[in-house]
């Protein structure tokens, strides 16, 4: 199985964050992971705003969030444990994440 890409904090770019969170579904997924601390199974977030998200689309959303440096994903058996990197990213770009997710009305 291929290793998952997780950029170091120095490699995270604001344009990647803006791209990742420009999609309302990804912004909702990120906000939910951040609120819960972690999400054990990606399928727990398959329903966003009363819309069912296909598994292939959900996988792509998680990949974009992970490659932007917003979440960390670790395989645990057949499941994926996803955790927010909010504190790390906020340390590098203070206020950026809060501004974006507040604009969606998802946090705060």
Convert the pLDDT of each residue in 63-76 to its tens digit: 999 999 999 988 87
* pTM summary value: 0.85
The whole-angstrom separation of Cα 40 and Cα 73 is 10
- Domain chopping of the chain, boundaries: 13-104
Rounded distance between C-alpha atoms, residue 70 and residue 86, angstroms? 7
Give the Cα separation of 100 and 53 in Å (integer). 22
Q: 13-104 has which CATH code?
A: 1.10.10.10
Q: What is the pLDDT of residues 79-94, one digit of tens each?
A: 788 899 999 999 999 9
Q: Hey, is 84 helix, strand or coil?
A: strand
Helix (H) or strand (E) holding 97: helix 96-104
């Amino acid at each position: 199985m291929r290793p998952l890409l997780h950029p170091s904090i120095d490699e995270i770019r604001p344009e990647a964050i803006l791209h990742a969170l420009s999609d309302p579904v990804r912004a909702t997924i990120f906000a939910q992971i951040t609120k819960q601390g972690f999400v054990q199974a990606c399928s727990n977030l398959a329903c966003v705003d009363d819309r069912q998200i296909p598994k292939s689309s959900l996988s792509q959303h998680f990949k974009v969030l992970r490659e932007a440096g917003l979440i960390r994903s670790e395989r645990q058996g057949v499941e994926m444990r996803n955790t927010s990197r909010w504190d790390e990213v906020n340390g590098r770009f203070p206020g950026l994440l809060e501004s974006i997710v507040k604009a969606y009305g998802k946090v705060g």
